[in-house]
Chains A and B, each alone.
Chain A
Amino acid sequence: MKFSTMRLAAAAFTGMGVLLAGPAQAGKTLDAVKARGQIVCGVSTGLAGFSQADSNGKWSGLDVDVCRALAAALFNDPEKVKYVPLSAPQRFTALQSGEVDVLPRNTTFTLTRDASLGLSATVVNYYDGQGFMVPVKTKLKSAKQLKGQTVCVQSGTTTEKNLADFSKANNLNIKPVVFDKLEAANAAYFSGRCVAYTTDASGLASIRAKEAKDPKEHLVLPDLISKEPLGPMVRRGDDEWFAIVKWVMYGMLEAEEYGVTQANVDQMKASSADPVVMRLLGGGNEDTGKLLGLDKDWMTRAIKAVGNYGESFERNVGAKSAVNLPRGLNNLWNKGGLMYAYPIR
């Protein structure tokens, strides 16, 4: 029951993983994954729309779809994934020590993380920014009105630093109340301990939709105080595995751009005249998968499993979901967003 000490102990033990593990060998993640027959995926402990387990223990979400697409591309079975829920403080050590193969866990890419943790940032799957949520009854309209107030925040996130920067830049003297676990931070905010809650805007929407007694009683303020490009990270030094994760994600974007969906993927593969689609799906004599160490149908399987990026977005966090986030920056580059895949050829 002592979950916080357990958590620290877990962090300590993953640290021990680094202590005891044998020397790392580059390029071996794919072999290890294949030998195991399963991808080990580090996800959040429960963030609606991104990674959350339902009552049957089945995981779903935008981040989970990355794992499912990878498993489909590798094993032709999106279920061949083992999900390891990680708290924010645990996540990097878990990836460093090899406990997980890939970390799609609403994690912000920053220079420190990319350059000094022995990890590599792959592709952004959600462009986010840090925001604030307040109870409607406070009648607050802007984060700049939070002078001297308490703000609940989860530990081990870029959020704490952004909050300090924002507080300093605007001379607000905000008092953070820092919790080890997301659940504890949520509970404290909803109990009224803090005037405001801060995390990524997508997280706020998710928490408001799933955790609030009445979502209408809480308002996400318009201020965004940071850039938070979220996406999966992998271990540094394994370029083959890095490339597979990167290109499966690009493949999902490319599929949306060229109109390939979960429903029409077989038909497109058989009949499309567009060479881009043929390369993506491995139709005709095209075999883009080979260069990655996969077979020619890699993206066909991935799209069959989770659909293209747009479908995944709408299903998990978009208008069709409880989280109900607008597409915004996460639209394709040719529709006013930032999502731009490198060409698959």
Chain B
Amino acid sequence: MSRKSPPRRKNWTWRSQALRGLVYQFFAIGAVALGVWWLAGNTMHNMQVRGIQSGFDFLARPAGFDIGESLYAFDSNHPYWQAFLVGLTNTLRVAVIGIILTTVLGVLLGVGRFSRNALVRGLCYAYVEFFRNVPVLLQLLMWYVFFTEALPAAAQAWTLGPLFLSKGGLSFPIPVWETGHLWGLYGLIAGAALAFAYRRWAFRRFEATGRPRSLFWVPLGLLFAMGALGWATGGAPAHFVVPVRGEFAIEEGGSLTPEFMAVLLGLSIYTAAFVAEVVRAGIQSVARGQGEAAAAIGLSQTQSMRLVQLPQALRVIIPPLTNQYLNLTKNSSLAVAIGYPDVVSIANTALNQTGRAVECIAIVMLVYLTTSLATSIFMNWYNVRAAIKER
């Protein structure tokens, strides 16, 4: 029931605010554009005068260097743009897994601050105060030193079944791909569809009869049961490439390098301290009466948190949480200090091999700008979804 004001015609005279605003904006944008144009022109001119070659043509030339870890096969013959792509995927690998880890950990810690158990409360408090007050670079170096100094050499690696933990990182068995796995995948897809259908049905039944059914464990069970069924249909392939102790290193199998683990742990644990505070603030923003009302209708403490308080707290949580996600992504650029080949590290190398400093730094800026904007857009969309629908 919005009230429409009668349409007013804008008054385009020199004394009107609208026109003045427009003129000011025009001049402001013009000044910025002129500044950028002057900087760009001056740079080009100076580089030309000094005989520095410039341009992005180098991206198509072979890179000529190897990259220690990459999600897909990279060879020194591949062009520079693929090297940058490897750096980007390595950055995203840390960012995406880090965001998931930090969210889980942060929410647990934030909720833990309201625990009735004084020990849990105190531990969560101590965690937050310790990890958010030590600079993140130091934490990364601390984890890296832990992995490279405190862990044993490969020859004396700590073993737990087929797992090896040593200075070389964490090695684990990886399954050998067989067609049977494809059946398992089909099973999972079918399970997902079934779980979705079940949830809709259970929810409708709940609204109709008031009898609650599990909306989490049963669908999860369905998903995995179908996956297992598909896998069994495909002949239950269970061949693994198991890591073995080599002369100097653990060979074969899959592995996580100490660089990756240090970056991932360091960033997740650091950011989780901030996320915990964001979650705590969000929960505190929910009126006390909501929890009491939930208790009055017979919801347990956990149910009250999960069904009443957290969903309302989300409105307050999401915007600052977005900031934390962006911080985590951008802080991953510190990985270069401990030898993780993220996009900054690759750009550093490329910058040196080619001397195209301005271009390489522009690429790095573009990468972070793009990932940050994408994260923001996604979180804004989620924020709109979580916001109270006011009618």
Tell me the A residues contacting B by CB distance below 8 Å.
Answer: 1-5, 8, 11-12, 14-15, 18-21, 23-24, 88-89, 92-93, 96, 112-113, 116-118, 138, 148-150, 152, 155-157, 160-161, 163-165, 167-168, 174-181, 184-185, 188, 191-193, 195, 235-237
- Would B351 and A156 count as touching, CB distance under 8 A? yes
State the Cβ distance, A171 to closest chain B Cβ, in Å.
Answer: 12
Which residues of B are found within 8 Å of A181, using beta-carbon distances? 337
* Bound-complex Cα distance A188 to B147 (A): 10
Q: Are A155 and B149 in contact (CB under 8 A)?
A: no
B341 within 8 A of A: yes
8 Å CB contact of B49 from A8, A24, A112, A177: A24
Chain A residue numbers with a CB within 8 Å of B361 are: 8, 11-12, 15
Beyond A21-B46, A192-B153, A235-B50, 14 extra complex contacts between A and B, CB < 8 Å? A1-B137, A8-B344, A12-B361, A15-B358, A23-B46, A92-B355, A117-B52, A157-B352, A161-B76, A175-B69, A177-B68, A178-B341, A178-B349, A184-B339
Task: Answer whether residue B357 sits at the interface, using C-beta atoms and an 8 A cutoff.
Answer: yes
Known: A15-B361, A18-B52, A164-B65. A195 touches B334 (CB 8 A): no
Write out the residue numbers on chain B whose beta carbons fall within 8 Å of the beta carbon of A21: 46
The residues of B that contact A149 with a CB separation of less than 8 Å are 248-249
Which of A18, A174, A195 is B66 in contact with, Cβ under 8 Å? A174
Q: Is the CB of B68 within 8 A of A175?
A: yes
CB <8 Å contact, A180 and B345: yes
Which of B37-45, B267-275, B277-285, B288-296 lies on the face that meets chain A?
Answer: B37-45
**What is the CB-to-nearest-CB distance from B353 to chain A, in angstroms, rounded to a whole number?**
7
Q: Which residues of B contact A113 (CB under 8 A)?
A: 355
Given known contacts A23-B45, A160-B65, A184 and B248 CB-to-CB distance under 8 angstroms = no
Pairs A–B under 8 Å by Cβ, sample size 18: A8-B348, A12-B357, A12-B361, A19-B42, A19-B358, A20-B39, A24-B49, A118-B52, A155-B345, A156-B348, A156-B351, A160-B349, A163-B65, A168-B76, A174-B66, A180-B345, A184-B337, A236-B50
Min Cβ gap A218→B in Å is 15
User: Which residues of B are found within 8 Å of A164, using beta-carbon distances?
Assistant: 64-66, 76
* Contacting pair A92 B51 (CB below 8 A): no
Least Cβ–Cβ distance between A76 and chain B, in angstroms = 31
**A2 in contact with B334 (CB, 8 Å):** yes
Whether the Cβ atoms of A176 and B67 lie closer than 8 Å is yes
Q: Is B89 an interface residue (CB 8 A)?
A: no
Docked complex Cα distance between A118 and B48 (Å): 9
The residue on B at minimum CB distance from A20 is B42
Asked whether, in the complex, the Cβ of B66 is within 8 Å of the Cβ of A167, the reply is yes
Which of B50, B149, B351 has the largest number of chain A CB atoms within 10 A? B50
A180 touches B66 (CB 8 A): no
Contacts of B341 in A (CB 8 A): 178
Please state if A188 and B352 are interface contacts (CB–CB under 8 Å).
no
For B58, the closest partner residue in chain A by CB is: A116
Q: Are A193 and B52 in contact (CB under 8 A)?
A: no
Contacts of A1 in B (CB 8 A): 135, 137-138
Contact, CB under 8 Å: A195 / B249:
yes
| Complexed CA–CA distance, A136 and B194 (Å) | 60
Q: How large is the interface on B (under 10, 10 to 19, 20 to 34, 35 or more residues)?
A: 35 or more
Q: Select from chain A the residue with minimum beta-carbon distance to B167.
A: A192
Contact check: which of B64, B138, B167, B364 meets A193 at CB < 8 Å?
Answer: B167
Nearest B-chain residue to A174, judged by Cβ: B66
The smallest beta-carbon distance between B82 and chain A, in angstroms, is 14
- The smallest beta-carbon distance between B91 and chain A, in angstroms, is 14
A-side contacts of B354, CB under 8 Å = 112, 116
Contact A191 B148 (CB under 8 A): yes
Residues in B neighbouring A23, C-beta threshold 8 A: 45-46, 49
In the complex, per-residue mask of B228-260: 1 if CB is within 8 Å of any chain A CB, else 0: 000000000000000000111101000001110
Name which residue of chain A comes closest to B140, CB basis. A4
Complex: A192 Cα to B157 Cα, angstroms? 13
Give the CA-CA distance A179 to B168 in the complex, in Å. 16
Tell whether B333 is near chain A: CB-to-CB under 8 Å.
yes
Q: Please tell me if the beta carbons of B148 and A163 are within 8 angstroms of each other in the complex.
A: no
Q: Which residues of A contact B349 (CB under 8 A)?
A: 155-156, 160, 178
A170 to chain B, nearest CB (A): 13
Report yes or no: B46 in contact with A5, Cβ–Cβ below 8 A. Answer: no
Closest Cβ–Cβ distance, residue A302 to chain B (whole Å): 28
CB <8 Å contact, A180 and B348:
yes
Q: Complex Cα distance A210/B137, Å? A: 26
Do A89 and B334 have beta carbons less than 8 Å apart? no
Contact A138/B337 with A160-B65, A161-B64 known, Cβ cut-off 8 Å: no
Q: Is the CB of B353 within 8 A of A161?
A: yes
The answer to whether residues A188 and B336 also contact, given A2-B137, A155-B349, A156-B351 and a CB cut-off of 8 A, is no
Q: Which residues 324-353 in B have Cβ within 8 Å of A in the complex?
A: 333-334, 336-339, 341, 344-345, 348-349, 351-353
B47 within 8 A of partner (CB): yes
Complex Cα gap A320–B47 (Å): 44
A1-B138, A155-B345, A167-B66 are contacts. A188–B339 as well, Cβ < 8 Å?
yes
Q: Distance (Å) between the CB of A144 and the closest chain B CB?
A: 14
Q: B214 at interface (Cβ–Cβ under 8 A)?
A: no
- Expressed in whole angstroms, the minimum distance between the Cβ of A13 and any Cβ of chain B is 10
Q: Which residues of B contact A188 (CB under 8 A)?
A: 148, 339
**B39 touches which of A14, A19, A161 (Cβ 8 Å):** A19
Q: Which residues on B sit within 8 Å (CB–CB) of A4?
A: 137, 333-334, 336-337, 344
B301 adjacent to chain A (CB < 8 Å): no
CA distance A235 to B50 in the complex (A): 8
Least Cβ distance of B381 to chain A in Å? Answer: 30
- Identify A11's interface contact among B69, B251, B353, B357, CB under 8 A: B357
Does chain A have a CB within 8 A of B53? yes
Q: A11-B361, A118-B47, A237-B50 are in contact. Are A89 and B352 (CB under 8 A)?
A: yes
Contact with A along B71-87 (1 / 0, CB 8 A): 00001110000000000
Chain B residues with Cβ below 8 Å from A12 are 357, 361
Q: Which A residues touch B246, using CB under 8 A?
A: 148
Beta-carbon nearest neighbor of B258 in chain A: A193
Q: How far is the CA of A8 from the CA of B45 in the complex (A)?
A: 24
Complex Cα distance, B45 from A313, in Å, reads 41
Encode B361-372 as 1/0 by CB contact (under 8 A) with A. Answer: 100100000000
